[in-house]
Each structure stands twice: as structure tokens, then as C-alpha cells.
């Protein structure tokens, strides 16, 4: 019985035209979106970008504030060592040099932590935007009758009627009224070390 069923299905497969077996692919209805425009002009994105820029400026200011005294102390210690003309430094100078090196390391670690925080914050902002865009793409495609959406930078040319950037931007402004610019602690601890 099993052989009879297998033979019948084989005969049916051979006799059935190949076109009937394959599902027809619908014609492509393409929409294009300028993702750069969306992410630079969305209201929450502008606010988040300004907050991230302020964080970077704060890091630079802190770096300058730490560098001045450390450089001054380092030069003073080097001058004291040079004045010894090759003689062994005394315990006080050694302690001063060691304290300076500790301050320098602490400053470096502080700046590195702040840099990692800013990187985590930037990635967190991008994730929030990305998480909202996925459903927006689907919604805009459905509303506009598209079955494929392409980033405009990936096309050689496209007609203006295919551009759904404003639809995506409007929907993003509605779906994402604000963006948190400080990554949660879990996101910060998952950062790769040594960058």
C-alpha cells in the first residue's frame, strides 16, 4: 500500500507542471526611506544628540581639568630628578613621584569610565530609535502598499513617489516623544573592556 501511494505521488509530481508547483512571487512594490534624515530630524533624536554632545563636552572639560595639575606636578618632579644629576632620589621625592603616578592612573581610569559611559549612552539611544523604527517600517509599508523598503542611500535612483521618509519621520515623532540618554547599568556593564 505504501509503495502504491509513493508511486501515485511520484506520477502526480512528474505530470504536474512546474509552474503550478511553485508559488508565484508578487511583483515588488518598493518604498525608499532616508534613514539619515529620519534619525537627524526626529524631535527626540535632536534632543538626545544635544545631550550626548553635552556629555562629550563634559568629558573634554574634565580631561583638561585633570591634565593641568598632573602635568604641572609631573614637570616639577622631573625637574627635581634632573637637579639630582643622576643621584638617587630621597624617600620624599620617591613618595611624591609615586603619589603623582597614582593620581595619573586614577585620572586615566576616571576618563576611561566616562568615555565608556558615553559610548553606552550613544548605543542606548540608537537602540531606542531602532526598536521603534521596525514596527513603523511595517506600518508605513502596509499603509502605502509596499512589500519592500530600501534605505535611499542604497539605491542608484528612485522616483519621488517612492519616498516614504516623511511618513516614517512623522510616525517616529509620534511613537518616540523622548529618548533616555543614560544607559541602564546593565548596558554599561556589558561593554567590552580595553577600548
Burial zone of 195 (CB within 10 Å; 0-12 exposed, 13-18 middle, 19+ buried): exposed
Specify the pTM: 0.74
Predicted local distance difference test score (pLDDT) of residue 4: 46
Q: Please report, for the chain, the start and end positions of each structural domain, with discontinuous segments joined by +.
A: 28-189
Cα separation, 168 vs 150, in Å, equals 12
Cα separation, 167 vs 37, in Å, equals 12
Residues 141, 145, 149, 150, Cα dihedral to 10°: -140
Q: Please count the residues of the chain.
A: 195
Predicted local distance difference test score (pLDDT) of residue 16: 53
Cα separation, 81 vs 75, in Å, equals 10
Give average pLDDT by consecutive 10-residue segment, the chain, 195 residues.
48 51 80 94 96 96 94 92 89 92 95 96 96 95 93 87 94 95 73 49
Amino acid at each position: 500500500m505504501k509503495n502504491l501511494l509513493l508511486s501515485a505521488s511520484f506520477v502526480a509530481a512528474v505530470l504536474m507542471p512546474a509552474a503550478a508547483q511553485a508559488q508565484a512571487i508578487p511583483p515588488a512594490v518598493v518604498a525608499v526611506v532616508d534613514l539619515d534624515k529620519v534619525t537627524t530630524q526626529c524631535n527626540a533624536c535632536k534632543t538626545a544628540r544635544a545631550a550626548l554632545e553635552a556629555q562629550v563636552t563634559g568629558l573634554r572639560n574634565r580631561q583638561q581639568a585633570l591634565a593641568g595639575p598632573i602635568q604641572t606636578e609631573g614637570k616639577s618632579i622631573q625637574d627635581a630628578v634632573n637637579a639630582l644629576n643622576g643621584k638617587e632620589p630621597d624617600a620624599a621625592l620617591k613618595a611624591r613621584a609615586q603619589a603623582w603616578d597614582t593620581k595619573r592612573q586614577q585620572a586615566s581610569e576616571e576618563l576611561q569610565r566616562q568615555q565608556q559611559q558615553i559610548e553606552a549612552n550613544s548605543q542606548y539611544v540608537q537602540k531606542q530609535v531602532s526598536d521603534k523604527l521596525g514596527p513603523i517600517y511595517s506600518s508605513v509599508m502596509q499603509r502605502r502598499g509596499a512589500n519592500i523598503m530600501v534605505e535611499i542611500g542604497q539605491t542608484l535612483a528612485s522616483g519621488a513617489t517612492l519616498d516614504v521618509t516623511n511618513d516614517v519621520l512623522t510616525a517616529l515623532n509620534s511613537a518616540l516623544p523622548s529618548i533616555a540618554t543614560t544607559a541602564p547599568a546593565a548596558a554599561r556593564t556589558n561593554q567590552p573592556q580595553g577600548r
